Amino acid sequence: MKIKNLKIAIIAILAVSLMSFTAVKEKMVNVNESTITWIGKKVTGGQHQGTIALKSGMLKFDDNTLTGGAFVMDMASINNTDLQGGGKSKLEGHLKSEDFFGVEKHPTATLNITKTEKQDGNMYAVTGNLSIKGITNPITFNMNVEEHTASASVKVDRTKYDIKYGSSSFFDGLKNKAINDDFDLNVTLKF
């Protein structure tokens, strides 16, 4: 009986010791406290902005070092915050249409972080795969991670995801109706 208890104790000690060496942790992102804002600009200088809801998110850490993550954005939640009434509804409907994000066929967009490189202070150079409208492309950006918050400003070339509406790269004669190919995402994640 003593030998059996001794074996169990040794196994328990080994298990606890091994777990202490594997410090990789997945931290779930609080989707209700996190924010994603977008800004789309016209070539002539006008712009619109709004929000997109985060459906789920997770960041991976090895000890306190960011090593990865995965996120799902609810594209049907695209919201405009600088217009009201009919103009707001019209723009939101257009952004959800096939001209832009085609949310009926593609209700989510995803970002999977594949590589991180620690920079100065709390800054990381992040590489990942961004999927919009079922099209995946690599993307790089900087992310600041402090305590329970991660933030990033991400520039996305929409034409890489077959979003060509109003792009002077694809259509001639748009003049002041041309829309920049890039749009900005400003992300604040709470975990």
User: What pLDDT is attached to residue 44?
Assistant: 85
The secondary element (H helix, E strand) that includes residue 19 is helix 2-21
- Phi and psi torsions of 174, nearest 5°: -75, -25
3-state helix, strand, coil in the chain (%, to 5): 20, 50, 30
pLDDT tens, residue by residue, 151-165: 999 999 999 999 998
Tell me whether residue 63 is in a domain. Answer: yes
Does residue 183 carry a pLDDT above 60? Answer: yes
Tell me whether residue 9 is in a domain. Answer: no
Where residue 178 sits, what CATH number does that domain have? 2.40.128.110
Does residue 19 carry a pLDDT above 70? Answer: no
Phi-psi region of 173 (alpha: psi -120 to 50; beta: other; left: phi over 0): left
User: What pLDDT is attached to residue 93?
Assistant: 97
pLDDT tens, residue by residue, 121-149: 999 999 999 999 999 999 999 999 999 99
Tell me whether residue 87 is in a domain. Answer: yes
Tell me whether residue 60 is in a domain. Answer: yes
Average pLDDT, the chain: 91
Q: How many CB atoms lie within 10 A of CB 123?
A: 15
pLDDT tens, residue by residue, 32-56: 999 999 999 998 889 999 999 999 9
DSSP helix/strand/coil, 11: helix
Which domain covers residue 133, as residue numbers? 24-190
The pTM of this model reads 0.84
Tell me whether residue 91 is in a domain. Answer: yes
User: What pLDDT is attached to residue 12?
Assistant: 58
Q: Which residue has the higher pLDDT, 178 or 80?
A: 80
pLDDT tens, residue by residue, 60-99: 999 999 999 999 999 999 999 999 999 999 999 999 999 9
What is the number of structural domains in the chain? Answer: 1
Tell me whether residue 12 is in a domain. Answer: no
Decide: residue 57, CB within 10 A, 0-12 exposed, 13-18 middle, 19+ buried. buried
Furthest-apart CA pair in the chain: how many Å? Answer: 88
Band of pLDDT at residue 4, cut at 50, 70 and 90: low
